[in-house]
Amino acid sequence: MKIQVAGPGCPRCKETHKNVINALSELNLAADVEYITDISQFRKLGVMMTPAVIVDGKIVVSGKIPTVNELKEIFSKKNL
């Protein structure tokens, strides 16, 4: 699973990245996690609002800080 966190490096985006790491840890899942801060790069991915979480090329969260529990639910469904 490839997970990308997109945001310009603001506190909200950093919190989202931290929550992604924590959710993966709690689920004991391995994933390739990338934090994208280049606006032109995440715009190419279709991100219009940050923070955003992209799983295997699909935007699953945009414009809000997802909780660890929300992310765990998303990641669990992805692995089924």
Question: What are the residue numbers of the active site?
Answer: 10, 13
Measured N-to-C along each axis, helices 68-79 and 11-27 cross at an angle, to the nearest 10 degrees, of 50
